Amino acid sequence: MTSRQATRTKLLDAAEDLFFTRGIAATPIDAVLERAGVSSATLYRAYSSKEALVAAVLDRRHAAWLSAWDAEIADAGSPTEALLCIFDANDAFRSGPRGARWCAFLNTAAEFADPPPQIAEVLERETRTYRERLTRLAGEAGAPDPAALADQLLLVASGELAMRLRTDATTSPARAVAAAVVAAALAP
Amino acid sequence: MTSRQATRTKLLDAAEDLFFTRGIAATPIDAVLERAGVSSATLYRAYSSKEALVAAVLDRRHAAWLSAWDAEIADAGSPTEALLCIFDANDAFRSGPRGARWCAFLNTAAEFADPPPQIAEVLERETRTYRERLTRLAGEAGAPDPAALADQLLLVASGELAMRLRTDATTSPARAVAAAVVAAALAP
DNA sequence: GTCTATATGCGGATAGAC
DNA sequence: GTCTATCCGCATATAGAC
């Protein structure tokens, strides 16, 4: 690994943790520099702006999240379980080393009412990916209207994440809600 | 109405709209002043800081939202309808003159990772109010575990709001999700 | 390629006149 | 009580040395 890549990794690690636990606007770029052990000029050589750094962090995180989700899907015993394991992936991601206060993507969407193109692109891609995958899994589970069930489950998953802003409860009723939704969708 | 109250109303109106459509941190206090047609010194005579203004706006909005919700509950035909009319109240509030980009309270919680006491208090009060009222309505609808159903519905309502960060769709699957949850909870 | 030092602009909040 | 003018600090980003 070149030293350029190592520097980028340090910056992304620091930024990811600070941005998504304290907030992006609330994190001065100096805090990222200090944690990464890197100077200002070095950061701006790697990323053209704070916004570009945000976009890069989201990009990497999106890929990591998809891997975690894929791993859970691969372990699922049935199509219905596969459909619900988005919640397992969320739990796993939260308790892992990349935990965020709630959700990195929703948080970014909340902080940028009118996001710059780089950021808008990764946010849209994330929502699109959710929809596409959930729709596919819903179809495989036999839902008569896979897209509708996918939208319902995306709402439930987003609701679980938003609830982290209200309470620090470790358990969530999300799975129960999702089970009711799936049962209703698959009922004859 | 004294002129002091009129000034406060103008400030609250301006701040409410700007804070919750553009974001709190993204709204400079000067933008509030300009829209309210008031000078800086006048604002700081009424509210000790930007944070105090945020707290005051949330206070007023909480009261307004409870009124809207109460009106919907009063119109409900059955206990089960009353339980679900939180979604009607959300729709009504959104299309009314106090629309926000998603949710004023969740947005504030997202922007302040460690909110000052004034703001923390009103945020906690809002979540508490939701839980208490939904629990009461769930009991009246005959749910065997009213608090559990209330938590599930709060998650669905929060999910609908969070989805506004992902899409500008005007229709939402929230009601369908809630109906499935209620049906599952009330089933024998 | 990385550091130190700094330019530049804007944020919230206040002083003092009227 | 409200305005104009201003203070002060901090944020992002850059220049220039090594």
Cross-chain CB nearest to B180 (options A112, A113, A184): A184
Q: Where are the domains of chain A?
A: 50-186
In chain A, positions 23-52 with C-beta closer than 7 Å to nucleic chain D are: 27-30, 40-41, 44, 48-51
Q: How does pLDDT run across A45-102, given as a tens digit for each residue?
A: 999 999 999 999 999 999 999 999 999 999 999 999 999 999 999 998 898 889 899 9
In this prediction, residue B6 has a pLDDT band, given cuts at 50, 70 and 90, of: confident
Chain B residues lying within 8 Å of A165, measured CB to CB: 106, 109-110
Distances in Å between the Cα of A97 and the Cα atoms of A67, A89, A94, A160, A177 are: 15, 13, 8, 20, 27
Query: What pLDDT, in 10s, does the model give residues B98-152?
Result: 989 999 999 999 999 999 999 999 999 999 999 999 999 999 999 999 999 999 9
Which nucleotide is nearest, taking the CA of residue B32 and each C1'? C12
Question: How far, in Å, CA of A134 to CA of A128, rounded?
Answer: 10
For residues B10 and B37, the answer to whether their CB atoms sit within 8 Å is yes
The pLDDT assigned to B82 comes to 97
Write the DSSP symbol of residue A102: S
Whole-model pTM over 0.85:
yes
Looking at residue A2, its pLDDT comes to: 53
User: In this model, does residue A188 exceed pLDDT 90?
Assistant: no
Domain B55-186 belongs to what architecture? Orthogonal Bundle (1.10)
Please state which CATH class domain A50-186 belongs to: mainly alpha
The answer to whether some atom of strand D lies closer than 7 Å to the beta carbon of A78 is: no
Please state which of the ranges A158-162, B6-10, B49-53, B164-168 shows the lowest mean pLDDT.
B6-10
A63 touches chain B (CB under 8 A): no
Q: Determine the pLDDT at residue A5.
A: 83
CA of A1 to C1' of C1 (A): 16
Residue holding tokens 């009213």? Answer: B146
Cβ A38 to strand C below 7 Å = yes
Quote the pLDDT of residue A96: 86
